[in-house]
Amino acid sequence: MRRKFKVAVLGATGMVGVRFISLLVGHPWFKLVAAAASERSKGQRLREAVRWLPPQGLPEEILEFEVKSLSPKELEAADVVFSALPSDVAGRVEEEFARAGFAVFSNASSHRMDKDVPVLNPEVNADHAFLVEEQRKRRRWSGFIVTNPNCTAAVLTLSLKPILDGFGIRRVLVSTMQALSGAGYPGVPSLDIVDNIIPFIKGEEEKVERETLKMMGSPSKPASFKISASCHRVSTIDGHLEAVFVELGRKAEPSEVAEAMEVFQGEPQKLGLPTAPKPPIVVKGENDRPQPRLDRMAGGGMAVVVGRMRKDPGLNGVKYVVLGHNTIRGAAGCSILNAELLAAKRLIS
Amino acid sequence: MRRKFKVAVLGATGMVGVRFISLLVGHPWFKLVAAAASERSKGQRLREAVRWLPPQGLPEEILEFEVKSLSPKELEAADVVFSALPSDVAGRVEEEFARAGFAVFSNASSHRMDKDVPVLNPEVNADHAFLVEEQRKRRRWSGFIVTNPNCTAAVLTLSLKPILDGFGIRRVLVSTMQALSGAGYPGVPSLDIVDNIIPFIKGEEEKVERETLKMMGSPSKPASFKISASCHRVSTIDGHLEAVFVELGRKAEPSEVAEAMEVFQGEPQKLGLPTAPKPPIVVKGENDRPQPRLDRMAGGGMAVVVGRMRKDPGLNGVKYVVLGHNTIRGAAGCSILNAELLAAKRLIS
Amino acid sequence: MRRKFKVAVLGATGMVGVRFISLLVGHPWFKLVAAAASERSKGQRLREAVRWLPPQGLPEEILEFEVKSLSPKELEAADVVFSALPSDVAGRVEEEFARAGFAVFSNASSHRMDKDVPVLNPEVNADHAFLVEEQRKRRRWSGFIVTNPNCTAAVLTLSLKPILDGFGIRRVLVSTMQALSGAGYPGVPSLDIVDNIIPFIKGEEEKVERETLKMMGSPSKPASFKISASCHRVSTIDGHLEAVFVELGRKAEPSEVAEAMEVFQGEPQKLGLPTAPKPPIVVKGENDRPQPRLDRMAGGGMAVVVGRMRKDPGLNGVKYVVLGHNTIRGAAGCSILNAELLAAKRLIS
Amino acid sequence: MRRKFKVAVLGATGMVGVRFISLLVGHPWFKLVAAAASERSKGQRLREAVRWLPPQGLPEEILEFEVKSLSPKELEAADVVFSALPSDVAGRVEEEFARAGFAVFSNASSHRMDKDVPVLNPEVNADHAFLVEEQRKRRRWSGFIVTNPNCTAAVLTLSLKPILDGFGIRRVLVSTMQALSGAGYPGVPSLDIVDNIIPFIKGEEEKVERETLKMMGSPSKPASFKISASCHRVSTIDGHLEAVFVELGRKAEPSEVAEAMEVFQGEPQKLGLPTAPKPPIVVKGENDRPQPRLDRMAGGGMAVVVGRMRKDPGLNGVKYVVLGHNTIRGAAGCSILNAELLAAKRLIS
């Protein structure tokens, strides 16, 4: 193996930023060399600036990092940046980094719907990765931007991929029960969620619908099946649970669909990428699974867990429940897998 | 007004039984004269026998009731019985009471799918009430059985009724987030639900699908639209929240559908039944409502609250969220409203 | 009865401010004429400016109030103001209002430890009310400031009062389990409290210790018993639960202490003040009470509920558990009771 | 190292039983050879019989174990048994096993207060281990029984040990916030604990008081300091949090007490026992720690975490908060550490 890529995290002090860092600790291909955040945190130790830490903490030497500002100049030591920036600043900052030659892997939604920016969930649409070449050419950038999808769409599309490949999809309806960490930190006030549900997450349904079609289409054309999402916040820490109803392209038994999921291997599994879960889809036979607390860490938080595959009398298709870790598969972990994919395809160097 | 009907509660010691009692306290038409339960509780004071009490408690004189056994003989003082029995005993016991001349209003599922037993949600299918006459004739009973629907179906069908009337329905998909009280007491272990969701409720989806069609059809024939449910248990105390996707019989804007709900009046409202909520459907304009803790007591727990009415790109129809109190509108309150309806129609005497 | 006093609420848009308003709706002695808040909200309708609403909402005509600024000029229509201001602004603003002739009843901690400002929990130290006369004289104000204690101290001292009167107190240790609403809205992030406890509430222990001694002493000298508090935040919506260990001034059986609590009547009960709970202390015999969800609304949220009275082998005294509603008895309700007390004593006019 | 001891778990299907098994997987000194439970489960695969599984599951080959009955005959293959039996059966069954020559390490309370049975928390009273020799002689058993303390006492005494050694103890008051797993599975109904606290745990306070004194005294005489506990159940999954107030034997600053805790090493640390946490007491400087979700897995769940060490004005001593994992340090893990201690001291063979 060649030398490790040097990487930095933008927006390193929020919940997804910290998740990026914790997944990069000990990574075989990537070495974290810097952490950057908004001017408010600049110059502080990461230790003081982080708003949230995982239970297991972070290594001392990383907590001692001085927080850099969001400028390509300051992060010259890195080749690759992972962006956990909020959408309102991500748009501009990420472009600056891409122009300056960085490979930018972003969790922000700002550029996801740009025609020449791939929304990449590697088991689903690894073939979209090559869009970065078109992007570079068109924009005359030496770097590029690759985005990962919205957390809910990441989980959904991974579960839909073997269905699309094996049976075709005419229609998808999805109703979600999403975890608190999806709103970041401090995020949802406790008074709003104890003994309660919030049946609304701003912009979420549009993202799920749009990004799913973009990912499941060809690089140049979104998929044409119908899709509708209803998104709700419930009182779980991590792990988005989604009830999915699918009208298939051709008749199939639920057991056939479950089997297609079980044997499914994506490009990351075939390439043996370090963060690729094996298998990417865990199919449960017990009728009361998946459950967020029990199943969200499947495959290190990178697998999705499917259960309750059954006939759907509403669409004459199948219905099932799928769970995935929203800040790992649905955010930082997906972005890191994207970077691994582009490294394996020699699209970053 | 004539004298009050004398009523008794069967299965009085469980959560729904106690809910029946608390709703009957001070009722203008019904006077609680006895409480009955399984042999295990027989002879105890209700005070000792109840497994659960509402925060506001119950009147002292009722807590002093001696628990009777489940025999028509022992409850001769009553004309009407409300049954909160578990399904495994309800079937046989309720038949005995009906044969002995009692008007039986049951929350149990045992008889719901019997052809001559109405599943009654009075704003939805008051016209099914007359089935009891056929029932009496066929079974040669002097009494009869009327059931209320499953809690989830009660909430769903009330919200669907103005849609069916105004626009027609081709297809309904519903994904639920159901409260803990739906499982009774002790019900769901706390270790299963803190920071968790259980994506399965035994028998629930079948009940929702079957009972909705029965209620929304004619007395003799179920409705023919397609329906599919996915049911999940979340960590709320009371109030089932349901995400509903509807394919309409004819094109309509979400605002038209919302208006039809807002102006909707059912038979109980027209008859001015004591437990009838005014309005039966509360439509919220705020985009983050309904919420279980804030909205479950609308109309004293008898109204359903609808929010987020919007276009559904999946079915080319509408999608919305509806909330109802599962042990009031979804159980004891619905059964009491049923009894009021039959009293107003002089079907009990 | 004379005409109603005209009252305004300062800091009307936060959780305690709204609680003040909802308790003033329909009050027999006080008529709400205005709501004021910081410059940020000024000029908005209260409807838009409130950060939190109770499940039952607020009357439409009050939601239409225009939010005034925190200036005595703007609130001339009122005689009395209730302050739910945050401590950092309360100090200065409340003085301005008192100087301008208003009777100020404050939930803020800013002035609680001023020698001539009573910290008033009316069942405990109604005799401290006359401090306002000294205060007016010394400060040459036409109005005055009366504070209510910290929420935890309000609940604790009410339960201790009959013990102090009947048996004397040498030492009190208290360990609390405090509700989320105590931190206001948005307050505690949900990610910090699901499946968790925060064993720290800034400044709380000092307030509990200091204010308890001030209230339970004479108007001029704090009580001299020893006191220590350990304060913790748990995942309940409303209701502070406190485990209390007491070393008595003379030997007594737990049953004697419980009886003293049960028969206790404070000045508000004797005067028949409108907000006075009857009884002020509810003593429970069941060994698993009080519980926050079941008992917090005792006496309309103004009573405290005591349970598990038993021997304490650590201090050779008694130990018990007490619960009180933190934003009613512990904040807005207590302040309103204070105003009623001063009105009854003709200290406001 | 000699051959591994062969061990079996009694009461293997409940929550603590499964915890024993999961801690024994891969243990360097002990090899699990059998799992036993009540007649109800006998003959089933462990897979079917367990009432609860940890998120990470159990190895397949162990899930395939056939559940044995609770008879020494059936468990002849084992030398050592770990008992997670409920107290009502533990008394008799454990005696049978000890009589039949097994070294019995029990989490049940049945024998804890027997004079010749050690209640062992190895960092606290390793010197009590030798009681088993007296026990064998007196009872003419070839085996013996060693118990671990009640979960709350295990956490408390480990934190008190360096205080007792360094400063002496006159008085301890402790108020607990205990996790749901302490009540086993199904245990606490969810309806009792969402937005709630149960201020009572049957028998718990007596156990904490009695066992603490037994452990912290000499093998033949309990300690003579005063102690009082108030125990409460809150809505956390794992980890008992305890607020502790201590009157010291001699004056000392909180910082001295904290330091004594930080440097503390018990016998298990000195002997390098495989399950011994290093350090056994983690002292936190942040003022909002320890928190159950963040800190319960310290030292693999075997360490206790202390925070908020400060002066206690109530007892003129110190107060602090301590957290420990109730089913690891407080149950199965402690019992396994006990077995390691006796193995290291060659008291089992």
Give pLDDT tens digits for C192-211: 999 999 999 999 999 999 99
To the nearest whole percent, how much of chain B has pLDDT over 90? 97
CB-closest option in C228, C290, C315 to D312: C228
Pairing mode of beta strands C103-106, C144-147: parallel
- Mean pLDDT over all residues of chain B? 96
Hey, of C294, C296, C297, C305, which one would you mutate to test binding to chain B, going by the most B CBs within 10 A of its CB?
Answer: C294
Hey, of D56, D58, D294, D297, which one would you mutate to test binding to chain A, going by the most A CBs within 10 A of its CB?
Answer: D294
Using CB atoms, list chains with 3+ pairs below 8 Å to chain A.
B, C, D
Catalytic residue among B128, B240, B325, B334: B240
Q: Which residues of A touch C235 (CB under 8 A)?
A: 190, 194
> Strand locations in B68-225, DSSP E?
80-83, 103-106, 144-147, 169-178
State the catalytic residues of A: 151, 240
Q: State the DSSP code for A343.
A: H
Q: How far apart are CA D43 and CA D33, in angstroms?
A: 15
User: How confident is residue C349, by pLDDT bands cut at 50, 70 and 90?
Assistant: confident
Chain segment B160-184, per-residue pLDDT in tens? 999 999 999 999 999 999 999 999 9
C1 pLDDT higher than 80 = no
The two counts, helices (H) then strands (E), for chain B are: 12, 11
3-state secondary structure D97-109: HHHCCCEEEECCC
Mean pLDDT for the stretch of residues B146-150: 98
In sequence order, what are the residues at sequence separation of 6 or more whose Cβ sits closer than 8 angstroms to the Cβ of residue B339?
Answer: B5, B7, B30, B80, B82, B103, B105, B146, B348
Distance from CA of A192 to the nearest CA of B (A): 9
To the nearest whole percent, how much of chain C has pLDDT over 70? 99
CB-closest option in D196, D228, D288 to C292: D196
Per-residue CA distances from A11 to A14, A54, A97, B223, B273 (Å): 6, 16, 13, 54, 59
**ipTM of this complex:** 0.96
CB contact under 8 A, A191 and C236: no
Hey, of A15, A188, A190, A197, which one would you mutate to test binding to chain C, going by the most C CBs within 10 A of its CB?
Answer: A190
Using CB atoms, list chains with 3+ pairs below 8 Å to chain C.
A, B, D
Hey, of B228, B241, B312, which one would you mutate to test binding to chain A, going by the most A CBs within 10 A of its CB?
Answer: B228
Chain segment B76-131, per-residue pLDDT in tens? 999 999 999 999 999 999 999 999 999 999 999 999 999 999 999 999 999 999 99
User: How confident is residue D53, by pLDDT bands cut at 50, 70 and 90?
Assistant: confident
Using left for φ > 0, alpha for ψ between -120 and 50, and beta otherwise, residue A301 falls in: left
Catalytic residue among C111, C128, C151, C334: C151
User: How confident is residue B256, by pLDDT bands cut at 50, 70 and 90?
Assistant: very high
Distance from CA of B293 to the nearest CA of C (A): 7
The yes or no reply on domain B151-325 and CATH 3.30.70.20 is no
State the catalytic residues of D: 151, 240
Mean pLDDT for the stretch of residues D60-71: 96
CB contact under 8 A, D227 and C291: no
Distance from CA of A321 to the nearest CA of D (A): 18
φ, ψ (nearest 5 deg) of residue A96: -60, -45
Q: Which of A64, A248, A253 is nearest to A165 (CA)?
A: A248
Q: What is the pLDDT of residue A55?
A: 81
CB-closest option in C189, C235, C236 to A187: C189
Pairing mode of beta strands A80-83, B30-36: unpaired
φ, ψ (nearest 5 deg) of residue D274: -60, -35
B48: amino acid identity, one letter = E
Beta partners for B229? B174
Q: What is the pLDDT of residue A54?
A: 86
Distance from CA of B84 to the nearest CA of C (A): 23
Chain segment C70-90, per-residue pLDDT in tens? 999 999 999 999 999 999 999
Q: State the DSSP code for B237.
A: S
Residue tagged 């009167």 (tokens): C165
User: Comparing D3 with C267, which gets the higher pLDDT?
Assistant: C267
- 8 Å CB contact between C47 and C35: no
Q: What is the pLDDT of residue C2?
A: 65
* DSSP letter for each residue of C9-37: EESTTSHHHHHHHHHHTT-SSEEEEEEE-
D148 pLDDT higher than 60 = yes
Helices (H), C168-266: 204-216, 254-263
Q: What is the pLDDT of residue A281?
A: 98
CB contact under 8 A, D293 and A55: yes
Residues in chain A, pLDDT under 50: none
Instruction: Give the number of C-alpha atoms closer than 13 A to the C-alpha of residue B50, restricted to the C-beta side.
Output: 24
CB-closest option in B199, B235, B294 to A288: B199
Q: How far apart are CA C331 and CA C12, in angstroms?
A: 13
Chain segment B39-90, per-residue pLDDT in tens? 999 999 999 999 888 888 899 999 999 999 999 999 999 999 999 999 999 9
Q: Which residues of D touch A237 (CB under 8 A)?
A: 293
B325 pLDDT higher than 70 = yes
D2 pLDDT higher than 80 = no
User: How confident is residue B2, by pLDDT bands cut at 50, 70 and 90?
Assistant: low
Distance from CA of D270 to the nearest CA of C (A): 32
To the nearest whole percent, how much of chain C has pLDDT over 90? 97
Per-residue CA distances from B344 to A293, B334, D134 (Å): 50, 15, 81
Nearest chain B alpha carbon to C53: B294
Distance from CA of A294 to the nearest CA of D (A): 5
Chain segment C31-65, per-residue pLDDT in tens? 999 999 999 999 999 999 998 888 888 999 999 99
Q: Where are the domains of chain B?
A: 5-150+332-344, 151-325
Q: Which of B198, C109, B313, C60 is nearest to A241 (CA)?
A: B198
Q: Which residues of D touch A194 (CB under 8 A)?
A: 194-195
Instruction: Give the number of C-alpha atoms closer than 13 A to the C-alpha of residue D112, restricted to the C-beta side.
Output: 29
* DSSP letter for each residue of A189-216: BGGGTTT--B---TTHHHHHHHHHHHHH
Beta partners for A348? none
Q: What is the pLDDT of residue D80?
A: 98
Residue tagged 């009415």 (tokens): B309
* DSSP letter for each residue of C82-134: EE---HHHHHHHHHHHHHTT-EEEE--STTTTSTTS-B--HHHHGGGGGHHHH
Q: Which residues of D touch B (CB under 8 A)?
A: 52, 180-181, 185-195, 235-237
Homologous superfamily of D5-150+332-344 in CATH? Answer: NAD(P)-binding Rossmann-like Domain (3.40.50.720)
Beta partners for B198? B233
Q: Which of D25, D30, D113, D108 is nearest to D341 (CA)?
A: D30
Mean pLDDT for the stretch of residues B243-261: 98
Q: How far apart are CA C283 and CA C304, in angstroms?
A: 9
Q: What is the pLDDT of residue C52?
A: 87
Using CB atoms, list chains with 3+ pairs below 8 Å to chain B.
A, C, D
